[in-house]
Amino acid sequence: MTMLHSATEPLRLLTVPPPTAALKQHLNRGQARVADDDNTGFIAQMQAIADRQDEAAFAALFAHFAPRIKGFLMKSGATAAQAEDCAQDVMATVWRKAAMFDPTRANVSTWIFTIARNRRIDLLRRDRRPEPEDLPWGPEPERDQVDAMVLQQETDRLGQAMAALPQEQRDLVEQAYFGDLSHSEIANITGLPLGTIKSRIRLAINKLRQAMT
């Protein structure tokens, strides 16, 4: 199986021309536009880093995400100093792994969250965190722009649905992700509308598998 792209070829994560009117209409189904624009911006920044090691793009991502990573780690029990050190490490990983980001399977926040979560275990526990085997990889398949846009929109909707949950459920979800709930307490969490997002991700995984055969 061929390895990664060569250093001389630019890597195409996905092409992101300005949204057409039709695409804007598709995206703007009465939802706040800000989140969509942010996400599109973050994806473009990720691509700039992957393609040409764009430091200005990285600085923009850093400005938005590093303080949230730090806040997340502190809520998870890290000290401010540990959290800052770890947040820098996570952002450095974001840079180094930028070519692996797949906008048809996750938005940038989700992807960065998974890196922070994996790093958190080194920080706060001594255990390792076994990860699932990578999907087969090779020359990166051309990723469908609409697939990515739809996934981004579904993720935004999930965020809005979470904000609209009854306070008690919202608190439980936060506690779970900050590390304060046991497995049996997590069983009490209900009401997260994950059906559509799960289907989109499933499709994206299928496409990757097909592209590899």
Partner 1 sequence: MIRHHLNDTLLMAYSAGQLPEAHNLAVATHISLCDDCRARLESFDAVGGAVMEQTDAVALSEQSLAATMARIRSAPPVQHAPIAKRGIFPTPLQDYVGGDLDAVRWRAIGGGVKQAILPTAKGASARLLRIPGGMAVPDHSHGGLELTLVLQGAFSDEDGRFARGDIEIADQDVTHTPMAEPGDDCICLAVTDAPLRFNSLIPRLLQPFLKI
**Does residue 56 belong to the site contacting partner 1 (CB under 8 A)?**
no
Q: Which of 5, 11, 82, 95 binds partner 1 (CB under 8 A)?
A: 95
What is the nearest approach in angstroms of partner 1 to the Cβ of residue 209? 7
Per CB under 8 A, contacts with partner 1 among 101-130 are: 105-107, 109-114, 116-118, 120-121, 125-130
**Does residue 169 belong to the site contacting partner 1 (CB under 8 A)?**
no
Q: Please tell me the distance from the alpha carbon of residue 48 to that of residue 54, in angstroms, as a whole number.
A: 5
Q: Please tell me the distance from the alpha carbon of residue 3 to that of residue 84, in angstroms, as a whole number.
A: 34
Q: Which of 13, 47, 57, 62 binds partner 1 (CB under 8 A)?
A: 62
Please, is 203 exposed, middle or buried when counting C-beta atoms within 10 Å of its C-beta (0-12, 13-18, 19+)?
Answer: middle
DSSP three-state, residue 176: helix
To the nearest 10 degrees (0 to 180), the angle between helices 108-124 and 33-52 is 70
Nearer of residues 17 and 132 to partner 1, judged by Cβ? 132
**Does residue 97 belong to the site contacting partner 1 (CB under 8 A)?**
yes
Per CB under 8 A, contacts with partner 1 among 12-51 are: none
